[in-house]
Amino acid sequence: MKRLPPSSWRRGARSLLQRAAFLAALLASPAAAAESESDAPDADAFARVVVAEAEVRSGPGITHRVIHRAERGEAFLITGREGQGFWLEIALEDGRTGYVLGDVVEPVAIGEDEVERPGTPGFFAPPALQRARGGFALMAGVFDKNGYSELRPALVLAPAIALEGYVGMHLNTEGKGVIYGAGGTLNLAPDWPVTPFLHLGGGGYTTFPNADAFVLKDETVMHARAGGGFLISLRWRLLIRLEATQAALFTADSYRNTYGVFGGLGSYF
């Protein structure tokens, strides 16, 4: 058998090594690509306002009402795109869906771990007090040791200050009582999703006894009340309002203390 020279052995070994390295790289490349894709941070598309003020509307067109006015630099998560007129569907921080014209924003991709990533809708939302002009709440609970329900409209003067009217009713075995009045509310942290507040109010209290009542009288007295609680801001501008009050019912020659604990749902707009 003819023996190959040493140089031929070296060339053959080198060729085999090159082929093995090529096959190893070919097999490893899909796994490496998959690993690099899994390691890459997820990025979402945001619309950043590039004009002084942009109108966010309830639908894709100028005939829809304006639900938010965004200032330059604000960014919103893009959730869809409408073909007509290049309207972008975005998610506001309070969970509502809005539409903005593509000419007034710049689409940007922002990863989940980036420091400047804007907020996205969650279970809790920023309170609507910063831009609200009015609001209301429907509540129920206990007042003067009886079941109670109350309607409370509000006029928002500033994020921290609101004027509120109220009318409430409670029923007992001898009749019913109606409390009505107005007061002021001080929101101690109007930019927090859970906002503590203080309330002072006063007005009248009228009782309507049943025909067979023995204790309850048909009368109207004055009342003053003070208390506080929490506003819990949820998505879509919904609020959970929890409140406890101490009230004084009085006339020129009588005085009586009572309390109220109630909660319910409301909204600012």
**Nearest-angstrom CA–CA distance, 118 and 74:** 8
3-state secondary structure of 127: coil
For residue 124, what is the DSSP state? Answer: B
Higher pLDDT: 216 or 27? It is 216
Dihedral over Cα of 209, 215, 218, 221: its sign: negative
- Residue 121's pLDDT is 63
- 219 pLDDT exceeds 50? yes
CB atoms within 10 A of CB 116: 7
DSSP string, 134-177: EEEEEEEEEETTEEEEEEEEEEEEETTEEEEEEEEEEEETTEEE
Report the alpha-carbon distance of residue 267 to residue 107 in Å, rounded: 31
DSSP 188: S
Fold adopted by 129-268: Porin (2.40.160)
Could you report the per-residue pLDDT of 32-82, keeping only the tens digit for each? 444 444 444 466 888 899 999 999 999 998 899 998 899 999 999 888 876
- In the structure encoding, which two tokens stand for residue 137, read together? 């709440």
Angle among Cα 136, 207, 257 to the nearest 5 degrees reads 80
User: Across the strands, what pairs with 152?
Assistant: 137
What would the pLDDT profile of 162-198 be if each residue is shown by its tens digit?
999 999 998 888 889 999 999 999 999 998 889 999 9
Burial (Cβ within 10 Å: 0-12, 13-18, ≥19) of residue 123: exposed
Greater model confidence, 140 or 22: 140
Locate the domains of the chain by residue range.
Answer: 43-121, 129-268
pLDDT tens-digit series, residues 133-167: 999 999 999 998 899 999 999 999 999 999 999 99
| pLDDT band at 250; cut points 50, 70, 90 | very high
For residues 67 and 64, give the distance between their C-alpha atoms in angstroms, rounded to a whole number: 9
Phi and psi, residue 169, nearest 5°: -140, 140
Tokens of 179: 């409390």
Read off the pLDDT band of 215 (50, 70, 90). Answer: confident
User: Are 225 and 260 in contact, with CB atoms under 8 Å apart?
Assistant: yes
- Spell out a b/e string for 15-41, using b for 16 or more CB atoms within 10 Å of the CB, else e: eeeeeeeeeeeeeeeeeeeeeeeeeee
- pLDDT on residue 236: 80
CB atoms within 10 A of CB 223: 18
> Could you tell me the CATH superfamily of domain 43-121?
SH3 Domains (2.30.30.40)
pLDDT at 14 over 50: yes
